[in-house]
Chain A
Amino acid sequence: MAIHSTVTESKIQYRGDGSSLEMSEPNKFDAGNLRSEEMILNVGPQHPSTHGVLRLEVLSDGEVVKEVVPHIGYLHRCFEKHAENLPYNQIIPFVDRLDYVASMNNEHAYVMGVERMMGISDQIPKRVEYIRVLVAEINRIASHLIAIGTYGMDIGAFTPFFWAIRDREHILRLLEWVCGSRLLYNYIWIGGLYYDVPVGFEDRCKEFIQYFRPKVKELEDLLISNKIFIERTANVGVLPLNLAINGGATGPMLRGSGLRFDLRRVDGYSVYPELDFEIPIGEGMVGATGDCWDRTWVRVREMEESLKIMEQCLHRLTTDHRRTVEFDPQALLPKKIRPQAQDFYIRAENPKGELGFFFRADGKSDIPFRCKVRSCSLVNLSLLPEISRGVLMADLIAILGSIDIVLGEVDR
């Protein structure tokens, strides 16, 4: 009783009443107006196969999905509002938290945009650019491992998840060695890098490539060419190319539908024009082009291409642009980040698709007037209702997993 009396009435923040049971985000379909065979089924927001806090309102007829309505916003952290109150360099940690399994890629896109606005993008030393591409590609592999591993688990294959997470652990340790944290790096800075890579990092990366190459093959044997996996994913959730383009799909989603389109090649930003890599596309090897299997297959092939890019970066970093005593990655950091007044849209190829940043600089302050994120996960997810009409409930989970969303980026 003594404890209770110390809690005064005003300190109780929340008291349940009738309104507590109302949904803050009401259903789109009215349960009263359904036909007798229809049913509204709620999936998420707390559900392992929704990959985060995503709620799907499913209008079903028995086991057949008639309509899906995604409800998002459960992880909305007001990135764009924060960005209107922060200087450009202090936004970088927030950018990390968008797609939190591929932070290096987010930073790379953002930093590139600010550098181009300031007109210093051609002064960045080659070594800095190669390190940026190297860490971004390592992170791309980590992101694809998560995508493939969790996708396997979504449709019932438990082992590939552990194998993928085991290999991802090596990557996280490499990146932790580079910048001190495992997920949210704040490593790529405007005009340079936080630090040079640690001594011996190149050798560990080479060891990782040697270790990981056979593991990709192993993962492929275990999951991608597995009969059960093919049965579950081939001809499921087929995204035709015209719908993919019209719906704004990018990344493995668009390439899975058969278009050889990769912004690393199309826009040729950073040092990607100097690097040799292939752009894998879905060819409908086991089913129709653009099905869930194709999208997963593209991700596996992309991991191999990323390994190739890593090898080339490491070669350049140990020969032409090798480590020197006087090299300082912070040498070119601008003292004052104040781009001239302009509207600027930058886009880059993230593991999940086209990540875009729109800036409006007013030329008078270090704070962007507007910073908008064009999120690839959001646009890819908006195609889910289109490709999951009339599929079975179990296939809906397979389709959602193959889109590879990260809710941090969907909701921002």
Chain B
Amino acid sequence: MPDMEVDKVIAFASERQIILKKAEGISIPPTLVVDAKDLVALSESLHRDKAFYFDQLSCVTGLDNGPEAGTMEVIYHVYSIPFNQSLGLKVILPRDGATVDSLCGIWKSANWMEREVFDMYGILFNHHPDLRRILMPADWEGHPLRKDYQQQETYRQIKVSS
């Protein structure tokens, strides 16, 4: 796979008044940090633009940096089939009341992947058509992949921890 020229994407976004930064450290595929409020506008233009044409959303990853860092991240991996290029888009959110706009309107595959992130981290997705828990039962307490998650003792009279 040819390396994505991230500078082109940064220039493309700045034409649209969207500021992008390269993510700190090594990330493969190259990842850009985008402000939560600009995410939908950026994705929409990256999806539509003829020079990029990111037509597939491969993966949505949630990530909790823990209570000390106080941030959570959502990482979107998008892929362009005609140009054979991958790009990561990262949104950094505060740990309390993490909310980001849904990408369901652009990529249909976002639907279940975002539900999974919501289920595991409690990150809310605005304008999501169907934001319910997906893997855990609907009446489960807490979001299991958060670093400060405390397992409930019983679930419907059944002991959870051994």
Q: Interface residues, chain A, CB within 8 Å of chain B?
A: 13-15, 19-20, 24-26, 28, 72-73, 76, 78, 80-81, 84, 116, 243, 245-248, 259, 261, 266-267, 340-345, 347, 354, 356, 358, 360, 370, 372, 374, 378-379, 381-383, 386, 411-412
User: Once bound together, how far apart are the Cα atoms of A76 and B139, in whole Å?
Assistant: 15
Nearest residue (CB) in B for A379 is B109
**Is A343 in contact with B25, judged by CB distance below 8 angstroms?**
yes
Q: Does B157 lie at the interface of the complex (its beta carbon under 8 Å from any beta carbon of A)?
A: yes
| A378 vs B111: C-alpha distance when bound (angstroms) | 11
Once bound together, how far apart are the Cα atoms of A50 and B88, in whole Å?
A: 34
Nearest-CB distance from B27 to chain A (Å)?
4
CA distance in complex: A372, B61 (Å): 7
Which residues from chain B contact A356 at a C-beta distance below 8 Å?
58-59, 77
**Which 8 A-B residue pairs are closest in the complex by CB-CB distance?**
A248-B109, A342-B26, A343-B27, A24-B137, A374-B59, A73-B135, A382-B112, A247-B108
Q: Which residues of B contact A24 (CB under 8 A)?
A: 137-139, 156
Q: Given contacts A80-B120, A358-B59, A379-B113, is CB(A72)–CB(B26) below 8 Å?
A: no
Q: Which residues of B contact A (CB under 8 A)?
A: 1, 23, 25-29, 31, 55-59, 61-63, 75, 77, 81, 84, 86, 88, 107-109, 111-113, 116, 120, 130, 132-139, 144-145, 156-159
Residue pair B26, A343 in contact (C-beta under 8 Å): yes
Compute how far the CA of A382 lies from the CA of B60 in the bound complex, rounded to whole angstroms. Answer: 14
A247-B56 Cα distance, complex, nearest whole Å: 8
Q: Are A386 and B28 in contact (CB under 8 A)?
A: no
Is chain A's interface secondary structure helix, strand, loop, or mixed overall? mixed
Which residues on B sit within 8 Å (CB–CB) of A14? 157-158
CA distance A14 to B157 in the complex (A): 6
Q: How far is the CB of B80 from chain A (nearest CB, A)?
A: 10
B25 touches A341 (CB 8 A): yes
Contact A259 B81 (CB under 8 A): yes
With the chains together, A93 CA to B67 CA distance in Å? 31
> What residues of chain B lie closer than 8 Å to A344, measured between beta carbons?
27-28
When distances are taken between beta carbons in the complex, the residues of chain A under 8 Å from B1 are: 266-267
Task: Please name 13 further chain A to chain B contacts, defined as beta carbons within 8 Å, in addition to the given A76-B136, A381-B112, sorted by A numbering.
Answer: A13-B157, A15-B157, A73-B133, A73-B135, A73-B137, A80-B120, A81-B144, A84-B145, A347-B58, A356-B77, A378-B113, A382-B108, A382-B111
Are A248 and B108 closer than 8 Å at their CB atoms?
yes
Determine which of A28, A116, A340, A382 lies in contact with B109 in the assembled complex, contact meaning CB atoms within 8 Å. Answer: A382
